Structure 1
Amino acid sequence: MPRSATVNQELRERSRERILAAALEVFAAKGYEAASISEITEAAGVSRGLVSYYFAAKEELAAELLDRWLDGIAGILTIQGSPDERLAGIIDGALMAAATTLPIQRLAITLMMQPTTHDVFARVEADKSVRVSQVEDAIRSVFAARGAADPAVEEMLLRATLEGVTVKLAIYRETFPVEDIRRRLYAGYNLPTPAAPLPISSPQVDRLRAK
């Protein structure tokens, strides 16, 4: 009996998701530049032709993953509450994302920073310009409501700080004191002390060392 159009669509979506998951796994293990389509094909357990059907080039795989990363950042648009509660939610959301989705965070950082792949990031960011602006404006509105003299600068500083934390967490994954950093950020913005720690590993250390 022939499969229905709905079943075929579901199978196609599963295959596409499997390829993207494999690409992220290979990019995380080998780095974007060193990763090959053949390795991604093998990790996904699909034919090379199927990979090519969905993604004509490795760059398209990276672009799709970056696209999803930017959509994840846009999750802050749903945070409700007072300005202080929204700022706390932005900080906590960024730290949780950094700790729990490290492979895609690392990929984004790599593509942003490497001269040979920066253009890939720039193109995705340009395609998502409206969404990115909405995120920036949401953060700026929080700082404006808190009486900041220059909400735009505060937004850029906060994002730079949180992205720096993500870089450090990528390097020192097993020894980075996320909770201590979180509480310091809260104090720096005069937010109430968190009532409970985030549900992620956060060792107490006085020096960062890779393991």
Structure 2
Amino acid sequence: MAVTDLAIEKIKEMIVSGALRPGARLPNEADLAGRLGLSRSSLREAVRALTAMRILVPRQGDGTYVSGLEPHLLLESLAFAADVSQGHTAAQLLEVRRLLEPQVTALAAGRLTGEQLKELRGILDRSAEEDIDIETFVALDIEFHRVIADSVGNPVLSTLLGILSTHTQRLRIVRGTRHAPARAQAHRDHETIWRALSAGDAQQAAAACVVHVVAVEDWLVPGLPVE
């Protein structure tokens, strides 16, 4: 095992064992390096890596702390992988989305408030405007699905769904599709989902979501890097 990887594992062991609890401040660099039997340079590399993973949080002028370790925050570090995914990898992410998002949408059918349904209606109306560009359309698409996921009240699910289809990934698919009416179809799919949610019909909402994600999968040609 590389020295830096060993340093990462040792710090993680301290967190898992409870020696470093969520919100705790790390000992100073010299003391921690001595306790773990590491060089200070290896320790610094490990701290940088764990900070990128959101396990550690630096505070300017006040040292480095263990984060709250909430799962949805730790998952955010995976978003980069989704952003750069192309071809088969992007298709695999969409497959996972197809397995997960319909169930979340079904749960939302019984939990969306009247205000949230009104917010979704406003998003749909704005996305139907003919003069909006692709960037705006994709942003509205993300917002539509975010409101639905957030209504379930599980930040882990919301974060996972956001990671499975990031802004960059959606933009690539819309730009790369060879189907001219793709945006129009996406909007129709959203309308169908909204009607099911408004009726509180969980099964219909889930089915409409499946149709929508499958359509997105069809636009993506596996193995083709879409830019």
Q: TM-score range with shorter-chain normalisation?
A: 0.3 to 0.5
Normalization by structure 1: what TM-score? Answer: 0.32
Q: Which protein has the larger Cα radius of gyration, Structure 1 or Structure 2?
A: 2
Normalization by structure 2: what TM-score? Answer: 0.31
Relative contact order (alpha carbons < 8 A, sep ≥ 6): 1 or 2 greater? 2
